[in-house]
Structure 1
Amino acid sequence: MMPVTNASDVYYDPYDVGINADPYPVYRRLREEAPLYYNDRHDFYAVSRFEDVDRALTDPATYISGRGNILELIKIDMEIPPGVVIFEDPPMHATHRRLMSGVFTPKKVAALEPKIRAFCARSLDPLVGAGGFDFVSDLGAQVPMLTIGMLLGIPENDQEWIRDRVDEGLRPEAGQPMDTSKFFADSDMFAQYIDWRAEHPSDDIMTDLLRAEFEDETGTRRRLTREEILLYVNVITGAGNETTNRLIGWIGKILAEHPDQRRELVENPALIPGAIEELLRYESPSHQIARYVAKDARLHGQVVPEGSAVIFLNGSANRDDRRYPDGDRFDIHRKAGGQLLTFGRGIHFCLGAALARMEGRIALEEILKRFPEWEVDQDNAEFNPMAAVRGWDSLPVRTP
């Protein structure tokens, strides 16, 4: 079967540092000229319009997750260990997701608010009067780590080491594919905590997972194996730290570029939840979700053959003018009108979405209480133009 042919000369490459530094002009061209795009160099398809991405992510029979949700994993046809809920298909996915969803119930997430606020205050209070701070190292790298560490029951003096180990596995060099050999290599770093928690139960995720009973795909009533728990904890740690860290960095950058809207938020904090939604739309921490095509799929009059890899560009879909008029404009008053694609869609919608939104909201509330104005020290800012999780490694700002 012939691959899709591109009628346009637009070029998209997820490993191109120049494109990823500002992908939005390319995204716009993809949406208008090549809504189904084929890259013959890396042999993948890309889908960029909101409606197409939304529909595909809610079709898990055609676009499966069992080969991974990252292009590099799909291409090497890696054996995915059981228990990695984000890389599972029904029926096993539903069983494992039910277990995970018990960790992130609305009640449990709401109970975290005062603790997250205290983490923010602890990070920000020493910076008042200092003339500036770094949105990433002083806040973005701290609060998500403290929150996930608290949820898991990992001692604070070990959290930074774990965060850095997980980040190292998730972040490739700019312009390079991810080293898939590292992907599951570090799950055993949590072994000592799980073994200790088995002897000393507490009110945390590890204890919940150790005690959880469920019926597996064979109909057997059982508890999770040690290996399954290690993988669960690895997934929670990676997802919880990386994307919320990026969101906090974008808060600093985008609101510095829109001082009038920042002033509105200072004067009317009730606008902050809407501003977080707009930040998540305008600068998605995660820009793409990959899937393996389990059966021939038809898009825009062409066939995507079974066995292909497809990247769904949620970072592009969130700016599609068809869904969000004038989508390249940042507007805290925008009524998003339903489902952003920032956290995915369908059966794999991010379980931690409510927690990420809460962390972003509280971080912004606490920042604006102390620092109503700032400007970015662009000369010393460090940007990481990864396609999958795009954002700032360092964002120093000057404060009056």
Structure 2
Amino acid sequence: VAQGVQDRSGHGGQGVPGKRCGTILLLAEELSNCRDIVTMQLCANKLDKKDFFGKSDPFLVFYRSNEDGTFTICHKTEVVKNTLNPVWQPFTIPVRALCNGDYDRTVKIDVYDWDRDGSHDFIGEFATSYRELSRAQSQFTVYEVLNPRKKCKKKKYVNSGTVTLLSFSVESEFTFVDYIRGGTQLNFTVAIDFTASNGLPSQPTSLHYASPYQLSAYALALKAVGEIIQDYDSDKLFPAYGFGAKVPPDGKISHQFPLNNNVENPSCAGIEGVLESYLQSLRTVQLYGPTNFAPIINQVAGIAAQVTDGSQYHVLLIITDGVISDMLQTKEAIVTASSLPMSIIIVGVGPAEFEAMEELDGDEVRLSSRGRYAERDIVQFVPFRDYVDDSGNQVLSMARLAKDVLAEIPEQLLSYMKTRDIKPRRADPE
């Protein structure tokens, strides 16, 4: 029991000195392992008229029964205005929320008439269970809505209307771990920005400058994210590229040169291997420009398009200092890639303003190109500067960076699998 509810002055914990402000009772119940999700739709007929002017404005309130016999609200439908025969929109609810996986546990449903002042009028109630509801997959189920007070008062009382379950369907919600256990392989590709705006690697002001005492901003970001990533990549081989540099021997500008200088096999062994090749490349290429993202995105998308059955998923990690030169082509490339088993993580290093990156990260507004919208949000952008704390405690900051960088990958992988109706394969018993 938590005592001392926060008072209006904002003094949490103590409430008003010397005055008991009430108690909060916390009831807990262990969650079942049930991952099913239910979608259902209900309608009602001939509900009691509660409003003086016009008909009722009905809505439903669903209650889960708890282990101690009490009830907890687990869902409210929308209000359907001015009708005694409402049809509510279909809604989705986890089976855990409805009955905690216990199919015979009571589910109580109240029918109310909505009032603007919040004093909603009780029309009636009925009880059911998950098991009973699920029978609606093969037949309509009709429930009588009863008002106990009316029933006691009126001898001829029949009911206050009926509620009909129109549809009921169940699907399992799989997790990221289910797919990994089922054999989905994560493939990580690294792309590093070698444009001149990063500054000469030999100068301490450069984002690529590695002092004897500290890794460069690029190396730090790569190490922080990569060390988490490599736990999910079974072969620990990472194709690694640079972009925006003049490459020997002929000094041609390249936007996808292998860091290990091996066009046939650009994979590096582990994040240590990527770091090694990155430092080697810094000594041999000339930082140049422009900052083009589209070539490397299209290259990884081409590989991702070869296997779309859910057994392979690709993640491209781009580390850059900022302004994109080929924004239109990059948008087009991302919109195309959004229908493939692929995600893109962009880590922004340095002090630049990263508005363009925020636009590519479609959290607020879904990315579009030439009137075509991305099928899924596949880009996660993270500014590196937010994670280097003033005290120099890099271990803590890097752990937070890695967590935020990878936060959207599971959801993005699941959204791909769901849109393609790909279910995880069963893991072999060990």
TM-score range, shorter chain: under 0.3
- The higher relative CO (CA closer than 8 Å, separation ≥ 6) is in 1
More strand per residue: 2
More helix by share: 1
After TM superposition, the score normalised by the length of structure 2 is 0.22
